[in-house]
Amino acid sequence: MSAYKSEFLRVLAERGFIHQVSEPDQLDARARAGVITGYIGFDCTAASLHVGSLLPIMMLHWMQRTGHRPIVLMGGGTTRVGDPSGKDESRRILTDAAIGENLRAIRGIFDKFLTFGDGPRDAVMANNADWLNSLNYIDFLRDVGRHFSINRMLAFDSVKTRLERQQELSFLEFNYMILQAYDFVELHERHGCHLQMGGSDQWGNIINGIELGRRMLGAQLFALTSPLITTSSGAKMGKTAAGAVWLDADLLSPYAYWQYWRNTEDGDVERFLRLFTVLSIDDIARLAALRGQEINEAKKTLASEATALVHGRDAAAAAETAARQTFEEGVFARALPSVEIALADLEKGLGVLAAFSEKAGLVASNSEARRQVKAGGLKVNDTTVTDEKMILGPRHVTQDGVIKLSLGRKRHMLIKPV
C-alpha cells in the first residue's frame, strides 16, 4: 500500500477500496491541494440497488467525508443501451418507462450516504439521459466517434471475450463504452469533474473516458477502481435465499438486512468492517483481533453498523434486539418481520402449508412447504411441524398476541391477527 499524502486516498487505501489508480501521485497531489470532483455511475436495471452497489456508494461517502465533491451519475441514458462488460449475453432491453421508475426508486438511497446541495462540497445528482438522449448521431460521430479506434476497442476484454466465445455483441452494446467515455467528458465540462471511480471491471471504460477527455479538451482526468468483492469462500456478494440483498426496506426488511451481515463468514469480518462501516480503523482492529466464538461480537457490530447506514440507527437497534431475543434468549421478539391476518380468517382455521407459503412467504409453494415439513424445517411457535395437515387457529396465538413461524433456525416471521 503506497503512502498517500491526501486524506482522501489514504482513507480509501487503508480501508481496502483501491484496486487501481491512474497516475496516483498526481491525483494524490490534487486531492491535497483542493477539492476534487469525482463520480460513479449507477445503472437503472432494477428497482433498488443491492449490496453490490454499496461499495461504490461508500467510496462516494468517503470522498465527501474527506472534503471532496461526489457526483452520483444515474445511467438513465446508458441503461437504454446496456453494458456488455462481464455479461455473457445481451442484457434485456428495458423500456424507458421501466428505467424511469427504477431511477426514481433508486435515488432515495443516496440521501442516506451523501449530503446534496449547491455548495462547493455538496454532492450532485446527475442523469446522463440529460445529454445522451438528445445527441445528434452525425454530430456525435464527428465530435466523439472520431477519437475511438475500432482496432483498440476490439482489444478490450469486454468485447474480446464476447467475440472469442462467439457470442453476439450488438452494435448497440458496442457503443456503450463510447457513451460512458462521453459521460466523463460531459461531467468534466458541466461540473469540473476530474475523477471517475467504479469496480475493477470498469477500468477499461474509465480509461476510455480519460483518453477522450485528453483528446477533446486536453483535460487530465483520473481513474480509480475498487476490487471485486467476493466472500472468502468465493461467492459473489449479495445473494441469499430470498434473492438479492436489496437496500430498499420494502424489498428486504432491516431485520433481514441485519441478518445478512450477521452471517458474514469469519474470514470476511475485518474486510467488511472496513468497507461497509464507518468505524475507525482502530476500532476495527480491535474487533478483528477477536477469535473463535468471540468473533460473533464483531459480526454483531458489523451488522448493526452496516444496517444503521442504510436504515438508520433505530432500525439497526431494533434488528439487533430482535436477533438477540430470538437467538440468544429464545423469547418472542415483536420486532421480527410480520404479516397480518384477519382474526375471522384465523378463526376459520388456517392450514400450516398456506400459512408458510401464502401468508408468510417463507416458502415458495405449498409443495415446498410440504417438503420442508418432511425435512423437519418448519416450526410453529418453536415446535417442529410434523403434520402437514395441521390447522392453525386462535389457540396458536401466544400471549404476545402472535403466531411465530420459522423456516430453519434462522428465518422467522410473525403472524398477527387483527
Q: Minimum Å distance from CB 382 to RNA?
A: 11
Q: Which stretch binds RNA (CB under 7 A): 38-46, 152-160, 392-400, 408-416?
A: 408-416
Q: Which stretch binds RNA (CB under 7 A): 2-10, 17-25, 231-239, 394-402?
A: 231-239
Residue with Cβ nearer RNA (241 or 281): 241
Task: Using CB atoms within 10 Å of the CB of residue 235, give its burial: 0 to 12 exposed, 13 to 18 middle, 19+ buried.
Answer: exposed
Task: Report residue 125 as a C-alpha cell.
Answer: 445528482
Residue 265 binding RNA, by CB under 7 A? yes
Orientation angle between helical segments 254-262 and 295-311, nearest 10 degrees: 150
Phi/psi of residue 354, each to 5°? -65, -35
Orientation angle between helical segments 176-191 and 203-217, nearest 10 degrees: 50
Residue with Cβ nearer RNA (118 or 164): 164
Residue 69 binding RNA, by CB under 7 A? no
Q: Which long-range contacts (CB under 8 A, 24 or more apart) does 146-153 make?
A: 147/211, 147/212, 147/215, 147/216, 148/178, 148/181, 148/208, 148/212, 153/177
Task: Report residue 18 as a C-alpha cell.
Answer: 483501491
Q: What angle do CA 249, 372, 347 make, to 5 degrees?
A: 75
Contact residues for 155 (Cβ-Cβ < 8 A; gap 6+)? none
Interface residue with RNA, options 168, 314, 345, 382 (CB under 7 A): 168
Q: Which stretch binds RNA (CB under 7 A): 15-23, 67-75, 164-172, 175-183?
A: 164-172
Where does 80-186 show beta strands of DSSP type E? 124-127
3-state secondary structure of 223: strand
Max CA pair span of the chain: 76
Q: Minimum Å distance from CB 233 to RNA?
A: 4
DSSP 20-37: EESSHHHHHHHHHHS--E
Residue 93 binding RNA, by CB under 7 A? no
Q: Minimum Å distance from CB 313 to RNA?
A: 18
Task: Report residue 136 as a C-alpha cell.
Answer: 445528434
Q: Which stretch binds RNA (CB under 7 A): 9-17, 49-57, 214-222, 288-296?
A: 288-296
Q: How many residues bind RNA (CB under 7 A)?
A: 43
Kindly report the number of other CB atoms within 10 A of residue 8's CB atom. 26
Residue 324 binding RNA, by CB under 7 A? yes
Residue 321 binding RNA, by CB under 7 A? no
Q: Minimum Å distance from CB 160 to RNA?
A: 14
Residue with Cβ nearer RNA (19 or 239): 239
> What residues are paired with 339 via a beta bridge?
415
Residue 78 binding RNA, by CB under 7 A? no
Residue with Cβ nearer RNA (177 or 362): 362
Interface residue with RNA, options 7, 283, 368, 400 (CB under 7 A): 368
Task: Using CB atoms within 10 Å of the CB of residue 56, give its burial: 0 to 12 exposed, 13 to 18 middle, 19+ buried.
Answer: buried
Residue 134 binding RNA, by CB under 7 A? no
Residue 292 binding RNA, by CB under 7 A? yes
Residue 3 binding RNA, by CB under 7 A? no
Residue with Cβ nearer RNA (6 or 338): 338
Kindly report the number of other CB atoms within 10 A of residue 416's CB atom. 16
Q: Which stretch binds RNA (CB under 7 A): 51-59, 110-118, 119-127, 318-326?
A: 318-326
Residue 241 binding RNA, by CB under 7 A? yes
Q: Residue 237 gets which letter from DSSP?
A: T
Interface residue with RNA, options 226, 253, 301, 357 (CB under 7 A): 357
Q: Minimum Å distance from CB 345 to RNA?
A: 16
**How far does CA 317 lie from the centroid of its chain?**
21
Residue 370 binding RNA, by CB under 7 A? yes
Residue with Cβ nearer RNA (266 or 400): 266
Residue 304 binding RNA, by CB under 7 A? no
Residue with Cβ nearer RNA (119 or 330): 330
Task: Using CB atoms within 10 Å of the CB of residue 95, give its burial: 0 to 12 exposed, 13 to 18 middle, 19+ buried.
Answer: exposed
Residue 46 binding RNA, by CB under 7 A? no
**What gap in Å lies between CA 127 and CA 29, rounded to an integer?**
29
Binding residues vs RNA (CB under 7 A): 166-168, 233, 235, 239-241, 259, 262-266, 292-293, 295-296, 299-300, 323-324, 326-328, 357, 364-368, 370-372, 374-377, 407-411
